[in-house]
């Protein structure tokens, strides 16, 4: 399985196809899964297939995703990276809320350490509202990131990342402490973070699209559906596999983290890591948003 090592993290190697744990909890990323044994089996199968890059957050459940990863994977083998996100909390109704004061971040780091059962978190993203999906909180961005940098200096975190950031926020963070990975929304039909991806490529930072399949199933025009179907048929693949393959081919900086609690979907996602699209197929997908006829 292909791997990537960020420029400023020479001892951090991530599989380019990872596993996102957001779908492990119940509906709305809330409460336990309906089938806990199946959820654990999916996580273990991903690890057995060579995935060493798992993405989670204490806010998923809350604590459900972390607990499942710990039960499925602990004792953690050497080389396994569990990345988590802080700066966000859940309201009683399940709404995601910004929570990025130094005190809140410290509590969230301790929460992740406890629920994952580790002494140090390999990679921690600060979730910010640069992508418009998380309403901004009252704490200035620089203050939040500096607080995480201090926790890193204390030995509680190995590496830092940003989630949902702008280029300006990435530059501001790098002036405080190195950023090794960025997790932004980016997929076939939403390339609004292309400027952030370009900056990550320039700096040797890993770029991890979240919701990597969100638009692969939402083709608004018949011409787009037809083009994707032609490519899928040509490769004997599903729409989801073609979408993942496009992401991995689009930039060497990209790591995909599709998530599922369905064993068949996991096998489908794993197979996408070996799917190679030809030049004409890549060109079609690069321009697919323009197909409206």
Looking up tokens 């496009």, which residue turns up?
246
Q: Is 60 annotated as catalytic?
A: yes
Q: Do residues 158 and 121 touch, judged by C-beta distance below 8 A?
A: yes
Q: 70 in the Ramachandran plot: left (φ > 0), alpha (ψ -120 to 50) or beta? A: alpha
Please state whether beta strands 53-57 and 19-20 pair in parallel, antiparallel, or not at all (unpaired): parallel
Q: Which of 19, 60, 76, 159 is catalytic?
A: 60
Dist. CA 149–CA 163, nearest whole Å:
15
Q: Locate 223 and state its tokens.
A: 């011409």
- For 125, residues 6+ apart whose C-beta sits below 8 A from its C-beta are 83, 84, 85, 86, 87, 160, 161, 162, 163, 181, 183
Q: What is the largest CA-CA distance in the chain?
A: 57
User: What's CA 121's distance to the chain center, in Å?
Assistant: 16
Q: Locate 35 and state its tokens.
A: 């089938």
Name the nearest CA neighbour of 52 among 117, 121, 115, 1: 1
Dist. CA 230–CA 243, nearest whole Å:
13
Dist. CA 52–CA 43, nearest whole Å:
11
Q: Catalytic residue positions? A: 60
């Amino acid at each position: 399985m292909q791997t990537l090592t960020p420029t400023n993290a020479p001892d951090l190697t991530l599989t380019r196809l990872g596993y996102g744990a957001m779908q492990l909890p119940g509906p709305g990323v809330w409460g336990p899964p309906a089938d806990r044994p199946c959820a654990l089996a999916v996580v273990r199968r991903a690890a057995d297939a060579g995935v060493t890059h798992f993405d989670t957050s204490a806010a998923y459940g809350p604590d459900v995703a972390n607990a499942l990863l710990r039960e499925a994977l602990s004792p953690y083998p050497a080389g396994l990276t569990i990345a988590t996100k802080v700066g966000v909390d859940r309201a009683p109704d399940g709404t995601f809320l910004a929570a990025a004061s130094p005190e809140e971040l410290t509590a969230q780091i301790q929460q992740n350490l406890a629920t994952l059962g580790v002494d140090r978190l390999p990679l921690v993203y600060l979730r910010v509202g640069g992508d418009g999906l998380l309403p901004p909180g009252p704490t200035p961005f620089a203050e939040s990131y500096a607080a995480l940098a201090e926790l890193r200096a204390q030995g509680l975190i190995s590496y830092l990342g940003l989630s949902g950031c702008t280029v300006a926020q990435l530059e501001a963070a790098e002036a405080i402490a190195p950023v090794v990975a960025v997790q932004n929304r980016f997929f076939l039909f939403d390339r609004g973070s292309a400027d952030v991806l370009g900056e990550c490529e320039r700096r040797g930072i890993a770029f991890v699209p979240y919701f990597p399949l969100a638009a692969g199933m939402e083709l608004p025009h018949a011409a787009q559906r037809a083009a994707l179907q032609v490519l899928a048929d040509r490769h004997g693949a599903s729409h989801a596999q073609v979408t993942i393959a496009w992401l991995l081919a689009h930039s060497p900086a990209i790591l995909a983290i599709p998530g599922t609690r369905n064993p068949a979907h996991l096998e489908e996602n794993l197979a996408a890591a070996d799917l190679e699209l030809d030049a004409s197929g890549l060109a079609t997908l690069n321009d697919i948003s323009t197909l409206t006829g």
